Amino acid sequence: MITVYAFLRWYYESYTIRPGAISHQRGVFLKQRTLTPLHPSMSFTVSSGPLKNLLHYGTIHIRENASNHTLTLADISRPEQCLQTIEKALDNRSMNNNNAPRKQSDIAELLAEDEHEQLEFKSSLRFDHRTSQVNREIEKTAMKTIAAFLNSKGGYLVVGVDDAHRPLGIHYDYQTIGRQDRDGFENHFTQVFNKMIGAEFRHHAQLRFHTLEGKELCVVDVEPSSAPVYLRLDNDEHFYVRTGNVSTPLRLSEVESYARSRWPRGTVS
């Protein structure tokens, strides 16, 4: 029984290489899945013995040099070919669908543009300027935009400007959180993001702060996700994509076909 279980555990273990990440699924009865982002600082080695060399099997060791964390892809068929696939996907998370590098956000250039597929403006993250109080619906709207960016080509969410692109600042948001500075703002953003989108996608969104006309603004620089992102709202999950300058929800019947075209899979097993 132990031998059979060990075989089944090996048989049902799989690795899926996605743009910018590796998904590891294991377990016979209780499935477990982990997603490991790929970074340029990672190093790779392949190990195998005489028998595995004969059968074209080996183990790939992926090491994050900054943290010394190691991911082991054990007993992989033709590991050299798999390693080539991993290296191609290594920094793909910083590319958009057209494989063009995304440039760093320039606040003056962003404010000179109109909203489009990869750009949206918000007056605040959670402060309602009409009622002068916190409005959770504003947070939901911001996260909806970010989820749509993640599921599409990425984009920039500029927080702290009005409809005419004039700086309002985010100091109003500061007044609604415990620590009233950039760190407090980012900590609160992370809490909301993790709750509504998921901590596993947080590394795809970078916060950059700018000062313009004496007002502090925040640009959320969102990279395309390496996997489908669902937004959790009111005990339900929603799937958004960008169509023009709008975040559009997809019906369940549309999500599967969109996901197949947006994230073509290459599976290693």
Cβ atoms 110, 119 nearer than 8 A = yes
Q: Between these two residues, 264 and 210, which has the higher pLDDT value?
A: 210
Structure tokens at 25: 């699924």
pLDDT beyond 60 at 102: no
pLDDT at res. 29: 59
Q: Give the confidence band of 99 by pLDDT, cuts at 50, 70, 90.
A: very low
pLDDT-based confidence at residue 265 (cuts at 50, 70, 90): low
Q: Check residue 173 and give its pLDDT.
A: 95
Dihedral of CA atoms 188, 189, 194, 199 in degrees, nearest 10, equals -110
- Identify the pLDDT of residue 220: 95
Region for residue 247 given its phi and psi (left: phi exceeds 0; alpha: psi -120 to 50; beta: otherwise): beta
The DSSP call for residue 68 is T
**Tell me, what's the pLDDT at 148?**
96
143, containing H or E segment: helix 136-151
List pLDDT tens digits, range 127-179: 999 999 999 999 999 999 999 999 999 999 999 999 889 999 999 999 999 88
The pLDDT, as a whole number, for residue 73 is 80
How many whole angstroms separate alpha carbon 137 and alpha carbon 134?
Answer: 9
Helices and strands per DSSP (H, E), number in the chain:
8, 17
Integer Cα distance of 244 and 257 in angstroms: 20
DSSP line for 83-115: HHHHHHHTTGGGB-TT-PBPPPP-HHHHHTSPP
φ/ψ of residue 215, rounded to 5: -110, 135
For residue 206, which of 150, 130, 144 has the smallest C-alpha distance?
A: 150
Cα 244 from Cα 205, distance rounded (Å): 20
Q: What is the mean pLDDT of residues 93-104?
A: 43
The string of pLDDT tens digits covering residues 37-88 is 666 657 778 888 887 777 778 888 887 655 566 778 877 788 788 777 777 7
Evaluate if pTM is beyond 0.85. no
Q: What is the pLDDT of residues 198-246, one digit of tens each?
A: 999 999 999 999 999 999 999 999 999 989 999 999 889 999 999 999 9
Q: Who has greater pLDDT, 52 or 267?
A: 52
What radius of gyration do the chain's Cα atoms show? 22
Task: Tell me the average pLDDT across 9-28.
Answer: 64
pLDDT for the residue numbered 107: 86
Q: What does the pLDDT read at residue 67?
A: 53
Listed as own residue / partner, the contacts of 252-259 with beta carbons closer than 8 Å and 24 or more positions apart are 255/228, 259/228
Joined tokens for residue 209: 């702060």
Name, in order, each residue with C-beta under 8 angstroms of 208's C-beta and a sequence gap of 6 or more.
Answer: 104, 105, 218, 219, 221
DSSP codes joined into one string, 156-202: EEEESB-TT--B--SHHHHTTSSS-SHHHHHHHHHHHHHHHT-GGGG
